[in-house]
A and B are shown apart, each in its own frame.
Chain A
Amino acid sequence: MLRLVSSIAAAALFAASAHAQTRAFDADIVVTDLGSGVFMLVGRGGNIGLSVGEDGAFMVDDQFAPLTPRIEAAVAEVAGSGDVRFILNTHYHGDHMGGNEEWADRGATIFAHENARQRLTEPQVSSLTGEEEPAADPALWPIITFQSGVNFYMNGENVRVMHVPNAHTDGDSIVYFEGAGVLHMGDVFWNGLFPYIDVNAGGTIDGYIRALDYALTLINEDARIIPGHGPLAERADVIAALDMLTETRALIAEHVRAGDSLEDTLAAQPLADYESFGGGFINTRRFIELVYTDLAARLVLSE
């Protein structure tokens, strides 16, 4: 998740009793059947993708550690067993890989892009608060890493895991269940919401735009898209996000090129047409700040 939310959550976690922790992370797991043995699980944190079948369960992201028993029960509900053989972390944020230790203890093999693992092994500086956060516990680190991509051939599915460079972070993967026509995009796609661009972790708005462009080449009109956050989506929702990001990039770049300060840019309310995207974790102000920071650093270098 968002580093901010994860750090707040982590602070709450360490401060609170085990009982309170569990309560804070208590959430019902809502399961949606997407056909061909593929499911979407919504609890608290990043949305989960799941493929089940004779070769075992393959899960995309695992939310927070205290939710593990509930997720396990949900997997058992659809698969007959709560065992998960493989887990892919779409990136390094705590709301997508917080359950890694619990699942590894249960026998899962956990994968991620090599930059996602690398970031877990070192302190990170939050792109929202500027505060340094310590390296993650080694028990949370994915044990298998890749550079460009991996494919899994299981449960009659071709599961394509593809790295998309410098979008939400520098270690993002998207996962396409070809047979089911389901694309899990991690936090490279927030449905109907401004996305969090983790600029301190290599995230860029240009990478977001490229990643969504690429996603559209994979999917057809019938595809279902699991966003990192927000409700299950279809192709038109990805196009809406791509349009919003492309327009945002142009609008903020104009201010950066004109030499406007961040305050002046915010005062100009450049994203007034996109207020509806500001209802999530990243409100309009935060989004402008992130895009401005990103573009100010890169446009100055490239122009």
Chain B
Amino acid sequence: MRKIIAALSAIGASVVLGAANETPLGEGDPMEVTDLGGRVLMVEGYGGNVAVGATGEGLVFSDAFLPESAPALIETAMATFDEAPRIVVSTHHHGDHTLGLAAFHEAGALSIGHTFMRHRIAERRFSDYRQDWVEPRAPELLPRMTYDSAFALHLGDQRIALVHYERAHTAGDTVVHFIDADVIATGDIFVNGVWPIIDHYAGGSVDGTLAALDEIIALAGPDTDIVPGHGPLASRADVIAYRAMLDEMRHAVLALQADGMSPEEIAEADPLAALAPDWRAWFTDSADVAAEMAREFARVAE
């Protein structure tokens, strides 16, 4: 059952029926809210997708969005379920999932992320990507609590598992599994219909992503709702197809690499575009993905 909630116009969030947007929602765009049943919503907004579950003992959010969009996310969930924010997870450290944390802290929520996720933003570090030092984020933007391997919330009648997979999208990923509602929020380990970002600079890897996707596929059943980090609501079959495509891309890049091509030459050849012509270029495109994959494989081979 995927009924779009109609009550949101009252608090300024308009509702769009039908499939998700062709392009990511921007700062001024209205959020889209989908009722997944089991008192869990998928909210698509500026920052990507967030799954929100009501437990009877407070709301659990799979991510925090951005400062501009976090307050409306909180208001929407509170208006729908008449519960206060209790827990906000960070599926990884990227800003579109975490920069809204201050609003959640103000609302009294406990923020939780993987140990590496917090470490990544709590310490001054040198960024190979920016070739510059990056300062720690402000304290109100850091999770108050971290975990290492696995974590479970038993709130009211809602069991929610937080599961860490090593070196997938980043080194600090968390998948949020609403067990009783049969909903899995994957963070950016799985994105639907856009070119994937595997953040090699933050410990992400193609092989780790494939392994994590296998685990997500194993957790899901035919009726499970999969909330991707970005893109429209998905099913287990969509994740299986995505996993197969990613593996095919991996082989395509490896084949060119075996022919002696450099990452730059592989980007030039753009071997992946033809494999997934429907995927949207967003943060990254097919050529970037191919080049990053080639660099990762070259590092592993060294």
Contact = CB atoms under 8 A, between A and B. Distances in A.
A152 B148 contact: no
Nearest to A150: B147
A150 B142 CA distance: 15
Contacts of A81: none
B14 interface: no
B76 to A, nearest CB: 24
A61 interface: no
B144 A152 contact: yes
B154 A146 contact: no
A150 to B, nearest CB: 5
A57 to B, nearest CB: 14
A147 interface: yes
Interface string B185-204: 00000000000000000000
B146 A146 contact: no
A151 B154 contact: no
Interface in A229-263: none
Interface string B134-157: 000000001111111111111100
B89 to A, nearest CB: 12
A136 to B, nearest CB: 13
B146 A150 contact: yes
A148 B148 contact: yes
Interface residues of B, number: 20
Interface in B54-87: 57, 86
Nearest to A114: B152
B106 to A, nearest CB: 13
Interface in B210-266: none
B241 to A, nearest CB: 32
A21 B266 CA distance: 76
Contacts of A144: 151-154
A176 to B, nearest CB: 14
B61 to A, nearest CB: 15
Q: Is the interface of B mostly helix, strand, loop or mixed?
A: strand
A114 B159 CA distance: 13
A154 interface: yes
B149 A147 contact: yes
A143 B144 contact: no
A149 B148 contact: yes
B276 interface: no
A152 B145 contact: yes
B290 to A, nearest CB: 37
A154 B140 CA distance: 11
Nearest to A117: B154
Given A109-B110, A151-B115, A145 B148 contact: no
Interface in A24-77: 55
A105 to B, nearest CB: 11
Contacts of B145: 150-153
A21 to B, nearest CB: 28
A145 B152 contact: yes
Contacts of B57: 143
A257 to B, nearest CB: 36
B144 A147 contact: no
A73 B226 CA distance: 47
Contacts of B115: 151
A149 B147 contact: yes
Interface in A139-185: 141-154
Contacts of A143: 57, 153-155
B44 to A, nearest CB: 28
Contacts of A117: 154
A148 B155 contact: no
Interface of B: 57, 86, 110, 115, 118, 122, 142-155
Given A109-B110, A150-B148, 18 more contacts: A55-B144, A86-B110, A143-B154, A144-B151, A144-B152, A144-B154, A145-B152, A145-B154, A146-B148, A147-B149, A147-B150, A148-B147, A150-B146, A151-B115, A152-B144, A152-B145, A153-B122, A153-B142
Closest 7 CB pairs of A and B: A148-B149, A148-B148, A147-B149, A147-B150, A151-B146, A145-B152, A143-B154
12 contacts: A86-B110, A117-B154, A144-B154, A145-B152, A146-B149, A146-B151, A146-B152, A149-B148, A150-B146, A150-B151, A151-B145, A153-B142
